[in-house]
Chain A
Amino acid sequence: MPTQTHLDRLEAESIHIMREVAAEAENPVMLYSVGKDSAVMLHLAQKAFFPSRLPFPLMHVDTTWKFSEMIEFRNRKAAELGAELIVHTNQEGVEQGVGPFTHGSSNHTDIMKTQALKQALDKYKFDVAFGGARRDEEKSRAKERVFSFRSADHRWNPKNQRPELWNLYNARIKQGESIRVFPISNWTELDIWQYIRRENIEIVPLYFAAKRPVINWNGVDIMVDDDRIPEELRTNPVMKSVRFRTLGCYPLTGAVESDADTLEDIIQEMLLTTSSERQGRTIDHDQSASMEKKKQEGYF
């Protein structure tokens, strides 16, 4: 019997967590963001319930500003798995024309992502939502439980979390309360990439370097995905070999110049690089405890 590697142990733990939710929650959902962490989470879910299909739907909160390749990938993946896919967009936001170019990144994120997520959870009355957050992403996440409780108004109270002993999770909640469950809490970015490689998990091609049209906006290279970019910014894109280390709304996700077009190259680049994963995202920068504040307000 070969000894279990760290990836084996992480995989077994994540599967255990997902099965606990499937057994105890009344109406669970998996938040699927189409990124690499979601890809791993989805793969683990397939393993957890094989040969059954996923016993819960997938839900994507679509800000309408996602890369178009992400949307194609999402739809194809859900169809392949025969999984139920719910796509939710904050219609009020759409009607008000909210977007990152016109309203700034923090307003956009709040209205189209944070508020949209709350709307969707309320609308479908989900009591448990799986998320792909990891404890190594950011300092305030290091103390996040695997089962993270939210009050009826979706607030997170860091002082009122339940102790998690062994692999026993207390999933009991009152009417209206909900739980965010993070089955890949204990994975690091390197674990994710190694697992994608070991399991041959398909990810959105945007992670791989390719010649793409970019413009420089507020000091960040933004990909000209389509005509959602205001016309005056769209005029002179430059073709560069770039890739994306995280995938979100394309105007908020900076491209990095790179020639890494294989998984090995990406991992190599990551291991040799000198800046952390979240640096490409704009929401963390304001103040050092900003993620914690966002989380208390209900951002995932």
Chain B
Amino acid sequence: MSHQDALIETDIAAYLERHEQKSLLRFITCGSVDDGKSTLIGRLLYDSKMIFEDQLASLEADSKKSGTQGENIDFALLVDGLAAEREQGITIDVAYRFFSTEKRKFIVADTPGHEQYTRNMATGASTADLAILLIDARRGILTQTRRHAFITTSVGIRRIVLAVNKMDLVDYDQGVFNEIVREFNEFAEELATDIEIEAIPMSALAGDNITGPQGNTDWYDGPSLMEYLETVPVDTVSTSAPFRMPIQWVNRPNLDFRGFSGQIAAGTIRPGDRIKTLPSARESVVSRIVTMDGDLEEASAGQSVTLTLEDEVDTSRGDVLVSAEEPAEVSDQFQSRILWMSDTDMLPGRRYLMKIGAKTVTATVNAPKYRIDVNDLQDRPAKTLSLNEIGVCTLSLDQPIAFDPYDSVREMGGFILIDRLSNDTVGMGLIDFALRRASNIHWQALDIDRDALAEQKGQRPAVLWFTGLSGSGKSTIANALQKRLFALGKHTYTLDGDNVRHGLNRDLGFTDADRVENIRRVSNVARLMTNAGLITLVSFISPFRSERRMARNLMEDGEFVEIFVDTPLSVAEERDVKGLYKKARAGEIKNFTGIDSPYEPPSNPEITINTVEQTPEEAAEDILHWLTENGFLKG
């Protein structure tokens, strides 16, 4: 790749020794296509000679075909990855680019700038040491610039390069540059007090102040972008902070070795140091720092290691090893900033999974105290958070966890929220502080509605309506199914003739009118049970279509599942488990379905069970499969 370094040719070993010692800087570029962001990144790759000649050839061909620079090279084409984006002409995701120079290796998170991509920017910023904010010199500080500055500093970035681009289009006017810098500095004071800003006038297209001056900005005596990126201190997580290491994996090759593996989140550790395991708060002493390259004398933030302890401490994945002198806090209620990342709005009161460090717990998110408008940084009232919105919310967990405020240790205070049904990552959050239990949290007008009740049980309520002849096997199958559901931790109840007709409906007989009333009452009870979040199994002959339709209409859309237990009369009569058919044939029972009262088979049931070919267990398995496929059992 044509690295222009004489050492490569003359003394490759010396070159490699030097390059092994390079540090790594991760940064994010914020701006839109209009600001020349892709051009800037393309230019950095080009100027650091990270483009091979064959790539260059295809770049030249692509530039002529679909470029926007006429016969010149369109650097933007070098970094616009996916075909879908190329067609739309916008970058829609986070792309990672790599280049290295004499002094450093760089990883660039390239993210789009529009408001609808706030989440992508936050994602890229979460692993970055520094942010480059691109500004079109002709347009100055825009709403978008403020949004980018807010998002990146919220996620904890404290170094910003204000890249005032397209200076060639304002005749390299120093006044324009100074005014933009003044305006931005004024705004940045509102964000945080400890932000370092480096403003650089440049033209990515013409190459001014990218790797060096071109003579067009003689009034500027600061570093070029590349000089700055190569020399700015790398913000590795503070090694002077107190020790923190989430336990990822318990390393147990045999009975004599028990190690705790993880990546150190903060601080430094040495054998002999006293530590605590949180949340259990048991103390011990580090005996060894084990790696495949031999035991270490010391390890610090960022390293992946395995620690052994002097005592047998009962601790496992998700716990955190912390300095005994300066332990982390433990709590189950927090105030946090949340950025919502899903198309589906946040549901206050809903239980989400929360992953923090190596720990996954269940968290209930309260309605936002307010949301922050990313464009003017003003607080706005909010009942929920939609995609790309940022709000301040309290959280309540099902168990206490160890944490540090996000602004102290990123890895100890940053978390993601996961939807339990879709498994999608729906939000990112930053812990600000713990709330004193019960005293600070005010549940804001949270209705305990049917969704909340179902949510609490981790299921979708449903009425599984088994219909079929007497003796067709309805109750047997319902029983088998209920056992399976119970084993899966689902909350169920079965309504059948026996437990309803003996109580609620004991005043009803078997005339057509009584049958209708019987079903009306049972349907309403089933409805109440679904409101309570239960999966309700109803096992009734329910011979008439109209009553089953009435029951269906009573339920929420999609909650009524009609299961036709299809057993031919001859088979049911032959089984005659309860001896009822015999009595009916003998005239001892009147209005018996199938004998002297009609059965109307469902015309369009969700599920049909053929009991001649299937055992009750197989039938239950089929229904379970259907419920899974249709999303009733997730969570």
A interface, CB within 8 angstroms of B = 1, 3-13, 15-16, 19-20, 22-23, 46-53, 135-136, 139-140, 142-143, 158-159, 161-168, 170, 172-175, 185-186, 188, 190-191, 194, 197-198, 264-265, 267-268, 270-276, 279, 288-289, 292-293
Contact = CB atoms under 8 A, between A and B. Distances in A.
Given A1-B298, A10-B24, A268 B253 contact: no
Contacts of B62: 288
B504 interface: no
Given A16-B263, A268-B12, A190 B20 contact: no
Given A264-B13, A265-B12, A272 B2 contact: yes
Given A46-B292, A51-B290, A19 B55 contact: no
Contact of A274 (B53, B81, B634): B53
Contacts of B306: 50
Contacts of B126: 165-166
Nearest to A293: B83
Contact of B2 (A8, A174, A274): A274
B20 A194 contact: yes
A161 B424 CA distance: 9
B261 A4 contact: no
A20 B248 contact: yes
Interface residues of B, number: 87
A292 B418 contact: no
Contacts of A3: 23, 234, 236
Interface in B43-64: 52-55, 58, 62
B499 interface: no
B114 interface: no
A190 B100 contact: yes
Q: Is chain B's interface secondary structure helix, strand, loop, or mixed overall?
A: mixed
A165 B8 contact: no
Contact of B416 (A7, A49, A168, A270): A168
Interface stretch (B115-123, B512-520, B566-574): B115-123
A51 B105 CA distance: 31
B12 A12 contact: no
Contact of B96 (A53, A186, A272): A186
A186 B263 contact: no
A143 B416 contact: no
Contacts of A158: 82, 84, 93
B216 interface: no
B22 interface: yes
Contacts of A161: 93
B477 to A, nearest CB: 23
Contacts of A274: 1-2, 52-54
Interface string B231-253: 00010100100000000110111
Contacts of A172: 353, 418, 423
A276 B414 CA distance: 38
Given A267-B12, A267-B16, A163 B251 contact: no
A170 B292 contact: no
Interface string B291-318: 1110000101011101000000000010
Contact of A264 (B16, B96, B424): B16
B83 A292 contact: yes
B94 interface: yes
B411 interface: yes
Nearest to A290: B83
B107 A186 contact: yes
Contacts of A271: 1, 3, 8, 12
Contacts of B81: 139-140, 142-143
Given A16-B304, A170-B355, 15 more contacts: A1-B239, A8-B302, A13-B304, A15-B263, A20-B248, A136-B97, A139-B81, A143-B82, A143-B95, A163-B428, A168-B356, A170-B418, A175-B628, A197-B16, A276-B54
Contacts of B253: 51-53
